Amino acid sequence: MADIHKAIPALYSNIALIEQHSDGTLVVKNKEGNIVDVDMSLVNAWIDPDQYKIDRAFAYLSIEEQLDMQYWDSVNGTTTWADAIAKVKADFPKG
């Protein structure tokens, strides 16, 4: 499911308030205080254009591991680090 606090403002302009109640109801108001009728099928189908950044952050090895790979690549003449980075970028391409 899409993050409603990102999806709704991306899909609907002039949003000032998004309230999600514990019973599952959703109240969305514009800057004039009027309730906005939100199409949840659009919200749920929305894809965050920045999701690849989040996915890549979890997929990359730690800086320490990357530095170690770079060191051993320089010693051994290999491309292990560059290959690992290229795989993450290929697995999670930009939007």
Closest CA to 39 of 23, 28, 51: 28
**In this predicted model, what pLDDT tens digit does every residue of 51-67 receive, in sequence order?**
999 999 999 999 999 99
Closest CA to 26 of 41, 36, 14: 36
**Strands, DSSP E only, in the chain?**
15-20, 26-30
Q: What is the pLDDT of residue 24?
A: 83
pTM, 2 dp: 0.61
Q: What is the pLDDT of residue 82?
A: 98
**In this predicted model, what pLDDT tens digit does every residue of 68-87 receive, in sequence order?**
999 999 999 999 999 999 99
Q: What is the pLDDT of residue 11?
A: 94
Q: What is the pLDDT of residue 92?
A: 96
Q: What is the pLDDT of residue 89?
A: 97
